[in-house]
A = this chain, B = another copy of it.
Amino acid sequence: MATQAEHPDRPLRRDAQRNIERILAAASAVYRDVGLDASHEVIAREADVSIGTVYRRFPDKEQLIDSLFEQELDAVVAVAEQARTMDDPWDGVVRLLEGSIELAAGNVGLRQLITGSRHGAERVSRARSRLEPLVVEVVERARAAGAIRPDATPQDLPLTLLTLGALLDAAHDHAPDLWRRYLALVLDGLRPEGREREPLPPTVSLEVVDQVIAAAHERR
């Protein structure tokens, strides 16, 4: 990759090495907190380094994003793997949705990656293709066990993620756990008829609803 494209043999000077680490740390934090559309300038400031330096090290933003999110995407796949092997097939469905949202909730950049940003397309689509058979399996297993309503499909999981992603974005500052309530609602809808339910996670006041809605289009 770009960082050692010039002289694979000769090691980087110590300050250069240190700056690369700073930039990676800063980029990771910035992407996590504000998302993938952050400018190089923001990352530079956060890393306490000049724009030029960021540019010299990572002329290609895609690669920076790509390598940074490798682990996060792996974590999502790991959740799916785990969901697939849970004793109770329904718990697998719950785990898969809840686990991916939890990962996405804390990380704006990851959320953008999952819900279809154009960045890092290559690595994302690789992750997606690893994910897809697992999702299918989790849903099919639940269906075979009668643990999920029979007309549910694997497609319902990513699309549920998409809908809840909007809430994650909008409510992040005012009610970071609000998604749990609406996930619970969807999960109750996904269960077969006649199952017993747990009470819904807490709601928020009408004032907070207004704030959340106001935040929805503020952030982009």
A residues adjacent to B (C-beta < 8 A): 112, 115-118, 128, 132, 149, 151-156, 158-160, 162-167, 170, 178, 181-182, 184-190, 193-197, 199-200, 203-206, 209-210, 212-218, 220
Chain A interface, >50% SS class = helix
Q: A116-B218, A187-B189 are in contact. Are A162 and B155 (CB under 8 A)?
A: no
Total copies of this chain within the assembly:
2
Across the two chains, which residue of chain B brings its CB closest to A117?
B217
Q: How far is the CA of A217 from the CA of B162 in the complex (A)?
A: 11
Residue numbers in B under 8 Å from A159 (CB-CB): 167, 178, 182, 209, 212
Q: How far is the CA of A149 from the CA of B181 in the complex (A)?
A: 13
- Given A118-B217, A128-B210, A189-B189, 12 extra CB contacts under 8 A: A117-B217, A152-B200, A159-B167, A162-B213, A163-B166, A163-B167, A163-B182, A166-B166, A182-B186, A185-B190, A186-B186, A193-B194
Known: A163-B163, A204-B155, A213-B158. A218 touches B185 (CB 8 A): no
- The reply to whether B132 and A215 contact each other, CB–CB distance below 8 Å, is no
In the bound complex, residues from chain B placing their C-beta under 8 Å from that of A199 are 151
Contact A220 B220 (CB under 8 A): yes
Chain B residues with Cβ below 8 Å from A220 are 220
Per the bound structure, the CA–CA distance linking A181 and B149 in Å amounts to 13
Q: A196 contacts which of B155, B189, B193 (Cβ < 8 Å)? A: B193
Contact between chains at B206 and A154 (CB < 8 Å): yes
Query: In whole Å, how far is A173's beta carbon from the nearest beta carbon of chain B?
Result: 13
Question: Are B163 and A164 in contact (CB-based, < 8 A)?
Answer: yes
Known: A163-B163, A166-B165. A185 touches B189 (CB 8 A): yes
| Nearest chain B CB to A117 CB, angstrom units | 5
Give the docked Cα–Cα distance between A108 and B73 (Å): 32
